[in-house]
Amino acid sequence: MTHEQLCLDVINCSFFFNPVIPTLFPAYGRDYKKKANIASDLNSNKDFYISGIRPALINKEQLVSEGIKTVVVRYNKQLKVTSLKLVNGEFK
């Protein structure tokens, strides 16, 4: 059985049993210039696309329920990348 066959859930998929940090993209045509604006919208429970074989919409509530504590976000026309960590219930 291949690794791809074992990975049924994009969020919980792991390689060599290490958790994968999901990469998010702004949804609905939004884009950002500053990390603070990304954190504000994510903490406001706005939707983001999660990358993977089947891109899907996800928000903070879903990330927290899945136990995700760190995300990577592409922004500024997907030319820049930043990471956000869950600290005291807020992504920063």
Whether residue 21 contacts residue 83, with contact meaning beta carbons closer than 8 Å, is answered with yes
Residue 7 above 70 pLDDT? no
- DSSP secondary structure, 2-41, as one string: -HHHH---TTT-EETTEEPPPEEEE-TT---SSHHHHHHH
Summarised one tens digit per residue, pLDDT across range 38-83 is 999 999 999 999 988 788 999 999 999 989 999 999 999 999 999 9
d(C-alpha 47, C-alpha 24), whole Å: 10
Summarised one tens digit per residue, pLDDT across range 8-20 is 454 455 444 446 7
Domain range list for the chain: 3-91
